[in-house]
Amino acid sequence: MTQTKDLQSNVITFLRFPLIMGVLFIHNYSSTPTIPGAEFGIGENIPIFYACSELFSQVLGSISVPLFFFISGFLFFQNIDGFTKYDYTRKLKRRGKTLLIPYLFWNITVLLTYCIAQSIPALNAWFNNKIDYNLQYLLQTMWSMDNGYPIAYQFWFIRDLMAAVILTPVIYFFVRKAKVYGVLLLGVLWYFGWWLGGFIIDCGLSIVAVFFFSAGAWFGINKRNFIDDIGKVRYWSFILYPLLALADLLTKRYAVNIFIHNAGIIIGIVFWVNFVAYLLRTGKTGVNRFLASASFFVFAIHDPLMLRESKKILYALFNPQSDL
């Protein structure tokens, strides 16, 4: 039992960095950088690049955020017997240090960077919007701007995770009473996109967060080893996921794709958990704890402070005109 728990812990640690790389692929999807008033580049008239970009960013990379939510829900409830007020307070304090403080720090950092850069004439032209820094705008940058994201937009994941953490008493009660059927109901709502929009999503209650966090919570609350449970269908996942990933890639331009895509996310999570467990169990690879520990910093710094501007510079240097 201890060996299985160690494998589960190692799988979670191993996955942290590859999943962050998946997030980077998602955010580096387009081949066309944007400058004020224009988007330039060669668009989709580059079929090989377009197919590779779709595969890594919109197919493989799409598993990253749901699996992060799943792991977060599992870890939150993993070592809790019951769920008392003391447990809730203790977890909130801990998540305040690991989620809220970094969330505020990085969003404020990006806000200050924009504010300072836009006050410098030589840099001002690189920004798409001229901003009026009033109180309403400052508050929106910390939670949800017009596009539904905080100013450091990748931190919508941390925002939604914090919302899920605050609601853990509700999630705990729901999972305990509705059991696996309640989680499956949330899965149906996510799969078909049946969820409340507008205000509730802007507040961080996206269905992807609620469903996958609750799914992970079910394993944690019921003291299930998800490596063992998911491992029961490992061979099916090794067959189905490559087929679903290919189908997802080939149907991107069709309305039916959303159903193939969402099925691919579920089976993809099963596939990658099983694949990593196999690699670790057979000694074909090990856990690189340096990369795992660096994953949050990579997540925080990659955009907009690095990726977006690096893309513009690289485009100016190489002026790509073909797939190569």
Q: For the chain, state the CA radius of gyration.
A: 21
Is 120 exposed, middle or buried (CB count within 10 Å of its CB: 0-12, 13-18, 19+)?
exposed
Question: Do 107 and 142 contact (CB within 8 A), yes or no?
Answer: yes
pLDDT for 198: 46
Region 226-231 average pLDDT: 95
Partnered with residue 34 across adjacent β-strands are 39
Render pLDDT for 17-44 as a digit per residue (tens, 0 to 9): 999 999 988 888 765 555 544 555 555 5
The model's confidence at residue 276, banded by pLDDT at 50, 70 and 90, is: very high
Q: Among residues 216, 194, 178, which one has the least CA distance to residue 65?
A: 216
Q: Is 146 helix (H, G, I), strand (E, B) or coil?
A: coil
Residue reference for tokens 């080939």: 250
Q: How far is CA 142 from the centre of its chain?
A: 18
CA 253 to each of CA 48, 57, 104, 232, 313: distance values in angstroms, whole numbers, following the listed order: 16, 15, 38, 34, 30
What is the spatial distance between Cα 91 and Cα 227, in angstroms, rounded to a whole number?
24
Q: What is the mean pLDDT of the chain?
A: 87
For 5-20, what is each residue's pLDDT tens digit? 789 999 999 999 999 9
d(CA 314, CA 186): 43
As a whole number, mean pLDDT of residues 231-258 equals 95
> Of the candidates 201, 190, 171, which has an alpha carbon nearest to the alpha carbon of residue 76?
171
Percent of the chain residues topping a pLDDT of 70: 86
The tokens describing 222, both together, are 């019921």
Query: Rounded CA gap, 175 and 251, in Å?
Result: 35
Asked if residues 57 and 30 have their Cβ atoms less than 8 Å apart, the reply is: no
Strand partners, 237: none
Residue 144: per-residue pLDDT: 86
Rounded average pLDDT over 105-128: 76
pLDDT of 314 reads 76
Q: Find out whether 295 and 20 touch, Cβ atoms under 8 Å.
A: yes
Q: Is the pTM of this model over 0.95?
A: no
Highest mean pLDDT among 110-119, 241-250, 290-299, 314-323: 241-250
**What does the pLDDT average to over 50-56?**
88
Q: What is the pLDDT of residue 274?
A: 97
Cα gap 185→206, rounded to integer Å: 15
Read off the pLDDT of each residue in 140-155 and give the average, rounded to a whole number.
87
Amino acid 322: pLDDT: 73
Q: Which of 145-154, 205-214, 237-246 is least confident? A: 145-154
CA distances from residue 192 to 94, 98, 260, 262 in whole angstroms, order as listed: 34, 32, 11, 9
Q: What is the pLDDT of residues 78-97, one digit of tens each?
A: 988 889 999 999 999 999 99
Residue in 183, 261, 173 with CA at minimum distance from that of residue 229: 183
